[in-house]
Amino acid sequence: MKKLPILLTAGVLLVTGALALRVVELEGRLKAAERRAVSAATRQPGSGGPVVRSPIAASPRAKAPEPRMAEDLANARAEVADLRQQIQASQQQRLSPGGAVDGISGALGIRSVDTALVPSGNVAVEHWTGGEKRRWGHEQAAGAPDTGQPGDIPSAWASKAPDGGEEWLQLDYDRFVDLQQINVVESHNPGAISKVVAMLSNGREATIWEGSMEPSASDELVSSAFPVGESIRARSVKVYMDTARVPGWNEIDAVEVVGRDGSKQWATSSRASSSYADP
């Protein structure tokens, strides 16, 4: 009977090791698939720096990418999504009490085993304040713009699903400032912004702008300026998107706040209603 824990441990190690190798293999395929997705996205038209626009009352109409480009991108994104699901399933099987250990105990004829092992797999980042950034996570919108060209590129924030309706992105800054202007840089399928608000210290939202964006003739980098007419002091802003307005993922690269004292700040932390990087 003393050999049973040793056999059980060896079996667990073998099974979890095999599952870990499976995860590594899938992650390698995922990286390759994401590179193909980026390649397909960046073949779409548009280049150069961001186009500076002011919001107006208009119905957004984004030009659809060429059919072959759209097909390549859709296939690549579908492959990425499928691989992510496979990785998550493999991680859960490897880490959960109902996974490898129960399988081993069943094979050995053991009725039950104490399996206080390890935490579950991927966890959504509810509030990012630093560290490694996930591809298309809301934290990609923190900091200065780093998406050098338009397209479905992982250095910008994208919601979990496209065309699903209202989503929001909140950015926090180092210090309070009397707001003069908020600049939002969109990097893919621009025009879905529906409202921009400042988050007050009492938790309430002060609406800076609400309406429909100027339509974009093509997929391009767009920097939209939202002037603040009244006296509002804040260190957080929130950008609402109606993702059903413009087909495809509507992505934001960065959000800048400009103070009445001339200061400019890029966000240092973030959160969102959802992110494409979420499990």
In CATH, what number is assigned to the domain containing residue 167?
A: 2.60.120.260
In a domain, 72, yes or no: yes
Residues with Cβ within 8 Å of 58's Cβ and at least 6 positions away in sequence, in order, are 212, 213, 214, 215
In a domain, 240, yes or no: yes
Q: Are residues 183 and 255 in the same domain?
A: yes
Range of the domain at 83: 3-47+65-108
At 141, list the tokens: 């919108």
278 pLDDT more than 70? yes
Dihedrals phi, psi of 43, to nearest 5 degrees? -80, -10
Q: Are residues 160 and 252 in the same domain?
A: yes
Three-class SS of residue 176? strand
The band of 182, judged by pLDDT with boundaries at 50, 70 and 90, is: very high
What average pLDDT does the structure give for the chain?
A: 77
Q: Are residues 265 and 202 in the same domain?
A: yes
Q: How far apart are CA 259 and CA 234, in angstroms?
A: 10
Residues with Cβ within 8 Å of 191's Cβ and at least 6 positions away in sequence, in order, are 60, 61, 62, 213, 214, 215, 216, 222, 245, 246, 250
Average pLDDT over residues 34-50: 53
Q: Are residues 80 and 174 in the same domain?
A: no
- Find the range with the poorest average confidence among 16-30, 93-107, 120-134, 200-214: 93-107
Q: Are residues 165 and 208 in the same domain?
A: yes
Instruction: Please give the tally of structural domains in the chain.
Output: 2
In a domain, 121, yes or no: no
Q: Are residues 87 and 183 in the same domain?
A: no
